Amino acid sequence: MLKSVVGGNGKKNLQWCKSKENFHYVPEHTRLLDRVYYLKLEEDLWKNYLIYSETYNCWTSPLSKTSMEKYIEKNKQNKTKAEEEVQKHVLLLKNYQQPNSNIDEQRLWVVLLALVRKGQKKLSQHYEHRKKRLKNSAQDYSLVRACYDCQPTQDEIMSMQIIWQATINECKSQQNVNILKQHLYMKRIPKSLDYLDQLFSNVEHTLARPIYNDNIRTTLTTRHKKNYCTK
């Protein structure tokens, strides 16, 4: 990719970055850029964390919010410092150029940035996944708290917990089905069909399992009869 940022023909025009004196400039600049964009990912993540926590009122204590705000501010300072280091390093490029090197600087910065973003692709996806998990967790916390704010009875609490567990089981079953579909779509079925059999078995077991087990059904029925008789 570096050949695309150097003017002229062939190896002669790449000599400036291959020499022992100049070769370390590009890796060092790439490292500095990588640091900046990593801190940007961190900043975006914790800003979203702060927004979700305030939107859904998830603070367990004032101290947790204060600590997060301090971390965000510290990360912002580190990012500013890292950006300044990048700018200082940009100015050093002229010390590495030869009179006839004919380097397209703007193209060089674009390509190095593209290299960094490509290298951080999986990391960026990981951070996006974390943001979604944070949002879902905040929403769940808000909904659960709203349920308990209604002051449900013990029977109602038990019923809610059973429904929540049934929902979790349903999601896990759907996840297993999606994995099977993906294997079939990509035609990468494992050599041993034991893996598929186990997945099918898990799905069938979950679907066949009643939402209320015998003990819980007996308890709920007994309580219902007692409540009915006392009325």
**Do 6 and 14 meet the contact criterion of CB atoms below 8 Å apart?**
yes
* Selection from 38, 20, 129, 134 nearest residue 83 by Cα: 38
Q: What is the structure's pLDDT at 205? A: 57
**Tokens in use for 93?**
């490029």
Look up residue 66 and give its amino acid. Answer: T
Count the neighbouring beta carbons within 10 Å of the beta carbon of residue 16.
19
**Do 116 and 34 meet the contact criterion of CB atoms below 8 Å apart?**
yes
C-alpha span between 125 and 41 (Å, rounded): 10
Every domain of the chain and the residues it spans? 1-151, 152-231
Q: What is the structure's pLDDT at 52? A: 87
User: Which residues fall within 8 angstroms of residue 53, CB to CB, at 6 or more apart?
Assistant: 59, 65, 68, 138
Digit-by-digit pLDDT tens for the chain (231 residues) are 555 544 444 344 455 556 666 677 888 888 999 999 999 999 999 999 888 888 888 766 666 778 888 889 999 999 999 999 999 998 888 776 666 666 667 777 887 888 899 899 999 999 999 999 888 888 888 888 888 889 999 999 899 889 988 988 888 888 888 888 877 776 655 555 555 556 556 655 555 555 555 555 555 555 545 554 554
Look up residue 65 and give its amino acid. Answer: K
